[in-house]
Chain A
Amino acid sequence: MSLADVADRATSGGRTPPMVARSGRFLRSEIGMVFRRRRNQALLVVLGCIPILIAVAIKVSGGTSGGGNGDAATLFGSITSNGVFVAFSALFVIMPLFLPMAVSVVAGDSVSGEANSGTLRYLLAVPVGRSRLLAVKFAAIVVWCVVCSFVVAVVGVLIGLVLFGGGEVTLLSGTSVSFAAGLWRLTLVAGYVACSIAAVGAIGLFVSTLTEVPIAAMATTLGLTITSQVLDAVPQISAVHPWLPSHYWQQFIDMLRDPMALDKVGHGLLVAATYTALFLTLAWARFNNKDVTS
């Protein structure tokens, strides 16, 4: 007799059912919900179009440098020499707004969407413990962040290779590394981007426990990330800048130097981890004490 038979027998006998499923069925179901949703699929398609748009624009323009300086100009300027820079450039430009928006949509919808459709009460009555529900929701959000980031990276590399070719990657500091080493750096960068926006996901999860209106939670989450960037632009409060969630978002560019300059990247990860821990705790405290009347 298998474990499942024992479980079914036990439940039909009216005794306390044992826990048989620790296999992450609910997490898989949740991830499936996120990725089967048309709206989210459309978001991924739009994200995938960004590097294509960049690559095509540069190809059509003939690759002449439009001038300008700074990190963005350097990244874009490197695209014609190696296609992998399409991915780096795309991640750089969508970091401030586009990626936070994609995460805000999914994270803001996570709890409020279930409350809005009334399915939250049935999940809780299954029962899904409230802490477990938040854990699964956040895990799915993290998966979403990783997929968003890597979709841009992978599409960027592919379209870059097609239009501009590969070969040795000349880093921003002027030294060259093999193409494989370049891809490794891209993986690290995409991972850093995913961690950064996962913090937005934690904020979104918390906001999502405050309302039954998903669109309000999405807008609030995105609004908070924009506020962070607005504050980041006010020089008079430069002392708090390093602790704003968005301050080090584009700092992954340091990973394209030789050797990699990791102190700011490390600080960025610390800030992301801090915001994640803070807002997950807030979400937990709020949700565990909440009367679910939806």
Chain B
Amino acid sequence: MTLAIASDALTKRFRGGQVAVDHVELRVPTGSIYGFLGPNGSGKTTTIRMLLGLIYPTAGTHQLLGEPFVENAARVLPRVGSLVEGPAFHPYLSGQANLARLDAADRTVSARTASRRIGEALDRVGLSAAAGKRYRNYSLGMRQRLGIAAALLRPRDLLVLDEPTNGLDPQGTREVRHLIRQLGDEGVSVFVSSHLLSEVEQICTHVGVMSVGRMVWQGSLASLAAEQQARVRVLSAAPAAAARVLTRLGLDGVSTADGEAHAVLGAVAPEHVVEALVAAGVGVRGFSVDRPSLEDVFVGLTGEGFDVSG
């Protein structure tokens, strides 16, 4: 498996000693759509800034598109489109002029194709009609779209998109998801950060979850779902009796609450559990097998709470 992004022990300690990113090992497969998740303040943006060479890691190294970054930044970055911490453009220039400015700075593209590429990028994000309008007068959603257009100014092999749907209405969010999926289909590797799993769940093939500067889980979305243990829940007037049956069947984590008993299902078939309960004479009022939603998993990994970590 080749990797679009790989990092080894990437660490950033800011002056003052605060460790924003702590030994992060990114493994983003080529061609994947990788959801980089974590609550606000978990170190996502700092990681992204290190990936793009905007800030220097305190320790650790990384590779983009198979090339060690430090030595090859000038060669590899033209193949990487990015959106970092929201769009940023010159307010007194039009959207088109802003893209032309960025394009002029790129030594690897020719001026001859600039207006065509700028037109295509604007078209792709639905901004053609507002191309000549000053950035100052753009709405938040239009600004976000222009940021994405800048990332698409030329063919890319990797896109690093930090919260690309921020500020977009539901319609715009859907369009951006569609666009990302389309780019993924074209073979572009997409690294997309979000603080909401639900934002990226539908489009990602892989996820990495950050919490307080550390990577707490990473892998394919399918394996994240598969790893989650299903639990049985028995509603009964005699929860203690039900719990005894569950224990006898060899289920782990048996517990009782008011009027119900829980356990981890494991390898036991649900119908077998029902059968055993009935055979033991436990009056079953309700029975369910619950798999935690990915959102629950995410919260379980990152912790719940309103406080911004770090």
Instruction: Report which A residues bind B (CB closer than 8 A).
Output: 2-4, 7-8, 11-12, 14, 16-23, 25-26, 28-29, 33, 37-38, 117-119, 121-129, 289, 291-293
Contact = CB atoms under 8 A, between A and B. Distances in A.
Interface centre among A21, A33, A118 (most CB of B within 10 A): A21
B89 interface: yes
Nearest to A39: B92
A180 to B, nearest CB: 40
B77 A126 contact: yes
Given A16-B75, A117-B89, 14 more contacts: A3-B110, A4-B113, A7-B108, A11-B79, A17-B75, A20-B108, A21-B106, A26-B107, A29-B104, A117-B88, A118-B87, A121-B84, A123-B102, A123-B105
B82 interface: yes
Contacts of A117: 88-91
A119 B109 contact: no
The range of chain B's interface size is: 35 or more
Given A11-B154, A118-B86, A119-B89, A126 B110 contact: no
B70 interface: no
Nearest to A22: B107
Nearest to A19: B107
B54 A125 contact: yes
B157 interface: yes
21 contacts: A2-B112, A8-B155, A12-B155, A17-B79, A20-B107, A20-B110, A21-B107, A26-B105, A28-B104, A29-B101, A29-B105, A33-B101, A119-B89, A121-B49, A121-B84, A125-B54, A127-B78, A128-B105, A129-B74, A291-B54, A293-B54
Nearest to B77: A127
A150 B163 CA distance: 48
Nearest to A29: B104
B54 A21 contact: no
B287 interface: no
Interface in B57-80: 73-80
Contacts of B108: 7, 11, 17-21
A12 B155 CA distance: 5
Interface centre among B86, B87, B91, B101 (most CB of A within 10 A): B101
A95 B105 CA distance: 34
Interface string B94-137: 00000011101111111111000000000000000000000000
A39 to B, nearest CB: 10
A27 to B, nearest CB: 9
Interface of B: 49, 52-56, 73-80, 82, 84-92, 100-102, 104-113, 150, 154-155, 157
Contacts of A122: 82, 84, 88, 102, 150
Nearest to B50: A291
Nearest to B52: A125
Nearest to B104: A29
Given A122-B88, A123-B105, A293-B49, A21 B74 contact: no
A205 to B, nearest CB: 18
A128 B82 CA distance: 14
A21 B150 CA distance: 19
B102 A21 contact: no
Closest CB pairs A-B (n = 7)? A118-B88, A4-B110, A291-B55, A29-B104, A17-B108, A127-B77, A12-B155
B111 A119 contact: no
A3 B107 CA distance: 13
Contacts of A26: 104-105, 107
B90 A33 contact: yes
A292 B79 contact: no
A14 B157 contact: yes
